[in-house]
Amino acid sequence: MQTSEKEIEICRRFRSSVQIPGPEQKVGIAFSTLALKPLNALRHPPEGETCGWYIWGGEKLSQDPKFFQSMHLSHLPRYCSQLLSYLALAPDLRVLLAPGQEDVWYDASLLNTIGPLSNVSRLTIYVSCVVQL
């Protein structure tokens, strides 16, 4: 995927390196939750065909191993366009979007695990930059 100025600006604002996933890479997405607020995303280090991003709606991250479905990143605009500008953020970051709120923070546990369910019970190091929209 080509990097947009907005992606670069978001990386700069949250002091992240720019790490652009390829359109052929896959994300984990919880389709059944996307209508729920807030919209959440977290990024683990890329591995194999995955770019490390996991996306869901609502306040709870399910422990169910079938919670996320795999999808090529090139299809994401159809289902979750509001996150597109955040996809160049580095692994170790989380994103929360809600009406009037944008929150991006560092979570060290994302670098030490594979997949979003293995770190749910770990302490999150919360270094946040909140922007009220």
CA-wise closest residue to 42 among 112, 118, 107:
107
Cα angle for residues 10, 70, 60 (degrees, 5° grid): 65
As given in the structure block, the two tokens for residue 116 are 């979003």
As given in the structure block, the two tokens for residue 126 are 């919360």
Report d(CA 120, CA 6) in Å as an integer: 30
List, for residues 80-118, the tens digit of each pLDDT value.
999 999 999 999 999 999 999 999 999 988 887 555 544
As given in the structure block, the two tokens for residue 70 are 């795999």
95: number of Cβ within 10 Å: 24
SS (H, E, C) the chain: CCCCHHHHHHHHHCCCCCCCCCCCCEEEECHHHCCCCCEEEEECCCECCEEEEEEEECCCCCCCCCCCEEEEHHHHHHHHHHHHHHCCCCCCEEEEEECCEEEEEECHHHHCCCCHHHHCCCCCCCEEEEEEC
List, for residues 16-73, the tens digit of each pLDDT value.
999 999 989 999 999 999 999 999 999 999 999 999 999 999 999 998 989 999 999 9
pTM beyond 0.75, yes or no: yes
